[in-house]
Amino acid sequence: MVKYTREQRLRAVRLYEQYDRSAASVVNELGCPSRQMLVRWHRAWVEAGRDDGGSLGDGRGERYTPGQKRAAVDHYLRHGRCAARTIRALGYPCKALLARWVDELEPGRRRIRRAPVDAGTRRKVCFSNLRSAL
């Protein structure tokens, strides 16, 4: 699936207006995905007051408010720095997003789990400790 930048969407919407809302002309000229998508972009642009294209983002805008982010990070820090517990209690977000929020709002406070040590390495360490003790 092709992603269109905000500038490409804004250009398509402005041409749509210029061509008297002829979606076919714009699709033929720019190669936009479809008439329906162009109409959706235009509707979002009009509803936003014909802005500078901010309403034509990639659809992945901020889903959570800064207050919600702060509440999630605070819960994480107050309740044992456990991401699963925070997600279960608040109902959002995923672990990766929560980790990003913690790193953003409270750098260095996130608990980072290390990968388990394989048996071979563990044996080497144990035997080297035994030999040095003898």
The confidence score (pLDDT) of residue 129 equals 61
- What is the C-alpha end-to-end distance of the chain, expressed in Å? 65
The confidence score (pLDDT) of residue 72 equals 92
The confidence score (pLDDT) of residue 17 equals 86
The confidence score (pLDDT) of residue 116 equals 72
What pTM value is reported for the model? 0.44
CA distance 38 to 23: 7
Domains in the chain: boundaries: 6-56, 66-105
Instruction: For the chain, 134 residues long, give each residue's pLDDT as a single digit of tens.
Output: 567 888 888 888 888 888 888 888 888 888 877 888 888 888 888 877 766 655 565 555 567 888 989 999 999 999 888 888 898 888 877 888 888 899 999 988 887 776 677 777 777 776 666 566 55
Residues 6 or more apart whose CB falls under 8 angstroms from that of 10 comprise: 45, 52, 53, 56
- What's the chain's length in residues? 134
